[in-house]
Amino acid sequence: MFRESAFSLKLAIEGARLGTWHWTVNAEEIRMSDSCLSLFGLRPGTPMTYDNFFSYLHPHDRQRVRQAISRSIEEKVDYNEDYRVIRPDGTQRWVNAIGRPFCSANGAVERLEGIVQDITDRRAMEEQIRQSNGELHRLARTDALTGLPNRLAANERFHLEFVGMKRSRKAYAVMMVDIDCFKRVNDTHGHAVGDQVLQNLARTLQRTLRESDFAARFGGEEFLVLLPATDLPAALQVAEKLRHAVESSPDPVAGRTTVSIGVAMADPEHAKEGEAIRQADDALYQAKRGGRNQVRSAPVA
């Protein structure tokens, strides 16, 4: 009966592609099953010492595994670690190792025993999922037409900036940019040309703004710009530079294009993160009513 149970256990372990190991604390040799040695790219019966074991681990994983083993011995707890094995032929495999400490009669840990499983395929699948999720996250926050961040991304960025301002008390500037007479472009030349005008403005924004600045398509022909750690005079200079750059870059079909820009300062005393955006929007419409192709700023409290 015992022999049958042992044989069944052996089949189960092999079927699950598991390797077993046994290490007597303070002894050099680690006894590994043939299937465990196979995971390391080693032949059956290959001797394995404690120090030699770590030479097969990826350099970035060695310290973490050493700490897990030490903690298991010191605190008498199981450990469960994923790490990379570098085989003699240079190939790399991910494995999951589970270890359990066993104590002698005096209560001290005398040995560790455990199992090792090849999880390379699982880790590859997890990485694919992670990359897919990252791509979905990026696509959900990118405007498909211009390639700029969209309104969702803008809302997230402005929330972080607002929270940071509350903590640091360092204000930032907001610009609301709107293409003048955009409906006329669509009505006269068609939506394909209108899309081209939007794309040209997006490129001008990227070319004109500083690396630390943030620009997003907020909706329709309206774009939102964040200027971190920028006071009002500097923000007005950036806005005027952008206005001039757009006016100086006519569209091949639509011709001369202009923008109106509203500028406002976020204040650490603002109760809501959208207050500066609202003020910049009000200033934008002052620029529209004032004749377009100009920059207006919201009153500073």
Number of Cβ atoms within 10 Å of the Cβ of 73: 18
Asked if residue 239 lies in contact with residue 295, where contact means CB atoms within 8 angstroms, the answer is yes
Number of Cβ atoms within 10 Å of the Cβ of 139: 10
**Nearest one of 178, 176, 157, 161 to 267, comparing CA atoms:** 161
**Nearest one of 250, 273, 282, 251 to 175, comparing CA atoms:** 282
Q: Within 41-190, where are the H helices?
A: 50-55, 59-75, 120-140, 151-168, 182-189
Backbone φ, ψ for residue 285 (5° rounding) = -70, -25
Query: Is 161 a known active-site residue?
Result: no
Q: How far apart are CA 25 and CA 118, in angstroms?
A: 25
Q: Residue 182 corresponds to which tokens in the numbers above?
A: 């955009």
Report which residue type is found at 121.
D
Bridge-based pairing state of the strands 259-265 and 214-219: unpaired
Q: How far apart are CA 36 and CA 40, in angstroms?
A: 7
One DSSP character per residue, 271-285 reads: SSTTHHHHHHHHHHH
Q: Residue 150 corresponds to which tokens in the numbers above?
A: 């969209």
Q: How far apart are CA 291 and CA 275, in angstroms?
A: 25
Catalytic residue, from 75, 221, 269, 273: name it: 221
Asked if residue 36 lies in contact with residue 116, where contact means CB atoms within 8 angstroms, the answer is yes
Catalytic residue numbers, as ranges: 221
